[in-house]
Amino acid sequence: MRLAKLALIAALGLGSTGCIKSMLLKGQIKSTRQASSAVDTLHDYEVARAAAYAGLAQFEGMHKLAPTNVDALFMLTKGWTGATFAFTEDEWEVAEDLKQREVAEYHRLRAIAGYERAIAYGIEMFAAMGKDGWADARKSPQAMTKWLKDSFDDKDDAAPLFWVGYAWLGKTNVNKEDPDTVADLWVAIAILERSVALDRTYNFASGLTALAAYHARTPMAELDEAKALFDEAMAQTGNRSLIQKVNYATRYLCAKSDKAGYMKALQEVLDAGDVLPEARLTNAIGKRRARRYLGKARLDDARENCAFPD
């Protein structure tokens, strides 16, 4: 009898220890997510890149320990999307401008893989949030729109939707030669539109900016809608989000063949000071890209792609 009691006490002790470990891990993941916005204030691109990759490794490990934790899945979705856009795409563009074709292709494939990983974690995140029905929603634009509206009705849902939608859009942008990828672009737009419907201000109006860039994808696209969305996004940030202005130049002004406006907007990005400290890193990325797009290699391409006059 005494041995049985001791065995029961030991079992209860082990069970509570596991529970405590689980609670501590959950708390650590949640607090790390809450603290992650501090990276957005970094001014140093190289430090931010190292921090981003270290953060991805950390959350990959946390996901291994807590595979259904929504916060960990959110950070993996956001982290892979953000790191791919900010750093992998940057390395791809640098290699392109240097005419290093094999290196450029290597980084382009890395970008595709990064966005695909973000999307995969995002779909896992939806399931962990209790948003069932993804497979059926993928069958048609109408089914997707209905599922998104029925499943996501809270302002807080804008964040997970944005990062999944942006990852899908990013994958399409770097894989335009693949017809299957391009054919699925409607998924990205549906998700981003739902995110914006729930919160037009999220992440400095990044959803509005992404949709504006989409609507300015070609000179034959919906340029009036693009202009309206760009205007709203820039008004929300007081025209202080430099990545918005880069997108405005390289998408809308390019589509309008407005060389003077293009050059002026990108130069304004370079001339801007520390205008949005809470998004200092994104603005640093904006400056880095503006400098590249004003360089000879990108301007030569813009003369053709944007039909700029000589």
Whether residue 254 contacts residue 246, with contact meaning beta carbons closer than 8 Å, is answered with: no
Cα–Cα dist 59/55, whole Å:
6
Q: Is 32 exposed, middle or buried (0-12, 13-18, 19+ CB in 10 A)?
A: middle
Q: Is 300 exposed, middle or buried (0-12, 13-18, 19+ CB in 10 A)?
A: exposed
Whether residue 43 contacts residue 281, with contact meaning beta carbons closer than 8 Å, is answered with: yes
pLDDT of residue 250: 98
Distance from first CA to last CA of the chain, Å, rounded?
A: 95
Cα–Cα dist 166/144, whole Å:
16
Which tokens hold the place of 289?
A: 């890209």
What pTM value is reported for the model? 0.91
Cα–Cα dist 169/121, whole Å:
15
Residue 32's contacts (CB-CB under 8 Å, 6 or more residues apart) are 58, 59, 62, 71, 75
Query: Locate tokens 């201000």: which residue?
Result: 201
pLDDT of residue 21: 58
Cα–Cα dist 121/75, whole Å:
9
pLDDT of residue 39: 86
Q: In a structure prediction context, what are the per-residue pLDDT tens digits for the chain, which is 310 residues long?
A: 565 554 544 444 555 555 665 666 777 787 777 777 788 999 999 999 999 999 999 999 989 999 999 999 999 999 999 999 999 999 999 999 999 999 999 999 999 999 999 999 999 999 999 999 999 999 999 999 999 999 999 999 999 999 999 999 999 999 999 999 999 999 999 999 999 999 999 999 999 999 999 999 999 999 999 999 999 999 999 999 999 999 999 999 999 999 999 999 999 999 999 999 999 999 999 999 999 999 999 999 999 999 998 7
* CA quadruple 290, 291, 295, 297: dihedral sign: negative
Cα–Cα dist 184/159, whole Å:
21
Cα–Cα dist 65/71, whole Å:
13
Cα–Cα dist 150/156, whole Å:
15
Whether residue 164 contacts residue 191, with contact meaning beta carbons closer than 8 Å, is answered with: yes
pLDDT of residue 8: 45
pLDDT of residue 3: 53
pLDDT of residue 23: 64
